[in-house]
């Protein structure tokens, strides 16, 4: 299970997703002119639900190593959810009048990158299995 490289990528994607609950995405002044308002992964309900779904689904995908087709579908689904999450984050950033992105905002592109690498590894495993079945 963990000897497959895509399991490591999925674990890293899940860890990054859960870290976004703890670390800020954006810090600035919001529309109510409150200084040092912070946008976390736990700020709004849609962001919380999608972030949790990405983290939990990534962890579940690790244990679906015998069903590579489902594992690949769920990984691609997580990539789509992450794209939606990035869209929601940037819509929330528009509510701020001024501010800066935190360094930990880079966790979002890292999640996409790790999920992409996991999908590539799953696809590679499927290709190896198909080729080995052809030789039998």
Average the pLDDT over 21-33 and give the result.
Answer: 87
Task: Grade residue 126 by pLDDT with cuts at 50, 70 and 90.
Answer: confident
Across the chain, the runs of DSSP E, i.e. the strands, are 26-30, 37-39, 96-101
Nearest residue to 58 via CA among 23, 22, 110, 102? 110
Yes or no: is domain 5-135 CATH 1.20.140? yes
Strand, coil or helix: 126 = helix
Distance between CA atoms of residues 123 and 89, nearest Å: 30
Distance between CA atoms of residues 38 and 48, nearest Å: 15
Domain boundaries, the chain: 5-135
Contact 122, 68 (CB under 8 A): yes
Average the pLDDT over 98-117 and give the result.
Answer: 94
- The tens digit of pLDDT for each residue in 53-85 reads 999 999 999 999 889 999 999 999 999 999 999
Contact 25, 110 (CB under 8 A): no
Average predicted confidence (pLDDT) for the chain: 91
- H or E segment and range at residue 70: helix 68-93
Average the pLDDT over 18-39 and give the result.
Answer: 86
Q: Does residue 46 have a pLDDT over 70? A: yes
pTM: 0.89
Distance between CA atoms of residues 7 and 13, nearest Å: 10
Q: Does residue 132 have a pLDDT over 90? A: no
Write down the pLDDT at residue 12: 97
């Amino acid at each position: 299970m963990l000897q497959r490289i895509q399991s490591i990528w999925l674990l890293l994607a899940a860890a990054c997703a859960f870290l976004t609950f703890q670390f800020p995405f954006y810090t600035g002044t919001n529309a109510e002119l409150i200084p040092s308002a912070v946008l976390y992964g736990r700020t709004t309900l849609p962001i919380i639900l999608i972030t949790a779904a990405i983290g939990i689904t990534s962890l579940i995908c690790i244990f679906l190593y015998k069903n590579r087709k489902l594992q690949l579908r769920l990984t691609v689904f997580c990539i789509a959810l992450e794209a939606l999450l990035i869209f929601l984050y940037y819509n929330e950033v528009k509510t701020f009048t001024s501010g800066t992105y935190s360094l930990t905002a880079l966790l979002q592109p890292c999640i996409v990158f790790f999920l992409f690498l996991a999908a590539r590894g799953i696809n590679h495993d499927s290709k190896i299995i198909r080729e080995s079945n052809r030789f039998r």
